[in-house]
Structure 1
């Protein structure tokens, strides 16, 4: 298993990974078939992300296949450049094998190197595996957003979680 920064040549495999995650779990933002990003749009997004300086996607690659990712999206303005919003997805077949821990470890290392002060994320309150991972990685619940997501016609609460790095 290799954890590394995303590259432009990962574009098609990254889209495939994201679409598969949309199919496998209800914990990702997009529903199945809602993702409409084409290859050029995704390539441009990766290129922009790599140029931003305070955003990054790390991928987990196994036998030339992307099996998970963590996106770290930094603030755009002086008042929020110190923080990074985290999104993570790992294919179910590879869950529970330490990939999430490795992705978070690499992201935190990168964040500290570029001077990020705060990592933050949201998680549906019933996502027990996600909650366990985030707590293990040092994140704390800061609040709750009631009826934040609409999943299968039902409103779902989300926790706001964060980790202060410095």
Structure 2
């Protein structure tokens, strides 16, 4: 099985990322409605190519993780957040997600972060298990924060020191 290649995104990755977003949309991890044409751009004034790390398998984009500074204050500059994490359905179970999370930790450290945080839906058991295996701990729960497919779903806040 080939190893995933992890690299920063470039502007040329717009279409593969947009396609990946559309193909993987699910209420297991998405709280926004299913994307419909005309599709919004992946890269915009808040989402830059440099925020994304891509995983390639066989030369194709098969996953990504996006890092963001969610509170733009100097006093919070030491905290980065995983704000987007997707692995293509056909690439799951091949270590891509783990490689992306580890790359995000490495990148966050390289950017000077001391903490890495994320939010995950309570019913997304596979993602929660991966995050826990990679050193993230539950730091808070917002009970019933989202109504998805007729059910109230918790929003789980997780974090780890770097």
Query: What TM-score comes out, normalization by structure 2 length?
Result: 0.86
Counterpart Cα distance in 2 of 1:46 and 1:6: 15
SS in 2 for 1:42: coil
Structure 1 position 27 matched with structure 2 position 29: yes
| Contact residue 115 and residue 161 of structure 2 kept, 8 A | yes
Residue number among 108, 112, 115 corresponding to 1:115 in the alignment: 112
Q: Which residue does 1:42 correspond to in 2?
A: 42
What whole-Å deviation, never above 9, does each CA across 1:38-95 have from its counterpart, x for those lacking one? 4xx4344487453xxxxx2111112332111111111421122111111211112211
Query: Is the CA contact 1:67–1:91 (under 8 Å) kept in the aligned structure 2?
Result: yes
Number of positions where the alignment pairs a residue of Structure 1 with one of Structure 2: 157
Match of 2:151 in 1: 154
Mark the runs of 5 or more structure 2 residues left unpaired by the alignment: none
Q: 1:68 to 1:46 in 2, by over 3 A?
A: farther
Name the structure 1 match of 2:75: 79
CA distance in 2, matches of 1:35, 1:61: 26
User: Of 3, 6, 21, which aligns to 1:3?
Assistant: 6
C-alpha RMSD of matched pairs (Å): 2.1
For structure 1, the 5+ residue unaligned runs are 51-55
* Greater helix content: 1
> Could you tell me which of 12, 34, 59 is aligned with 2:15?
12
Give 2:98's match in structure 1, choosing from 91, 95, 101. 101
Aligned with residue 62 of structure 2, among 61, 67, 82: 67
Task: Tell me: higher relative CO, structure 1 or 2? Use CA pairs within 8 A at least 6 residues apart.
Answer: 2
- Further displaced range: 25-34 or 156-165: 25-34
